[in-house]
Amino acid sequence: MEKTYKKIAESQVVISELMLPSHSNFNGKIHGGYLLSLLDQIAFACASKHSRAYCVTASVDTVDFLKPIEIGELVTLKASVNYVGNSSMVIGIRVEAENILTGEVKHCNSSYFTMVAKDKDGKSLPVPGLILEGDHDIRRFVKSIKRNKMKAKRKTEFHETDFSSNEYIHILEDYNVKIEL
């Protein structure tokens, strides 16, 4: 079977939604959990569009809340496939909020979701490769490779280290803790 490739633009998804009072937290800003739900939805849509399969969220890496979103702002989420493996895809999402009265747009969030294509029995499916069309596409793909390697290194380190209190207690001296043994 010949491997298929798709251009990034073929799978991109953009959604916009007006932020309502029902989406806010007790401080009058849009609740982070609501935004996470929107991020997961657009990641699913983008990954499914690329793979033409049902996709599940495998992990969420880097959800940076940069600026608060206000009630009444128009939020736009832009999702692209940044990286593909055998059955997995890293979906990069940019969130912008626009004050509809002034037209001011602010970058509020950047996120990376790893999605996996599945068949009807829940087994992983191969996904099309990516056609990289310029430096921007190459940079995003390479950054995803680097993030994946850092994640694997972190996972190995945490699995192999026992973090016993005797060995690491000196690290705690610079932190806001009180130790009562």
CA–CA gap between residue 84 and residue 70 (Å, rounded): 34
Per the domain annotation, does 154 fall within a domain?
Answer: no
Mean pLDDT, residues 21-26 = 95
Could you tell me the residue range of the domain that residue 40 belongs to? 5-133
Per the domain annotation, does 18 fall within a domain?
Answer: yes
Q: pLDDT tens digits, residue range 84-103?
A: 999 999 999 999 999 999 99
CA–CA gap between residue 58 and residue 38 (Å, rounded): 16
Per the domain annotation, does 168 fall within a domain?
Answer: no
Q: HSE-up of 81 (CA within 13 Å, CB side)?
A: 32
117 pLDDT higher than 80: yes
* Whole-number percent of the chain with pLDDT over 90: 82
Q: pLDDT tens digits, residue range 126-155?
A: 999 999 999 999 999 999 999 999 999 998
20 pLDDT higher than 80: yes
- The count of structural domains within the chain is 1
SS3 sequence of 80-110: EEEEECCCEEEEEEEEEEECCCCCCEEEEEE
Per the domain annotation, does 102 fall within a domain?
Answer: yes
Residue pair 38/75 in contact (Cβ under 8 Å)? The answer is yes
CATH at 95: 3.10.129.10
Per the domain annotation, does 117 fall within a domain?
Answer: yes
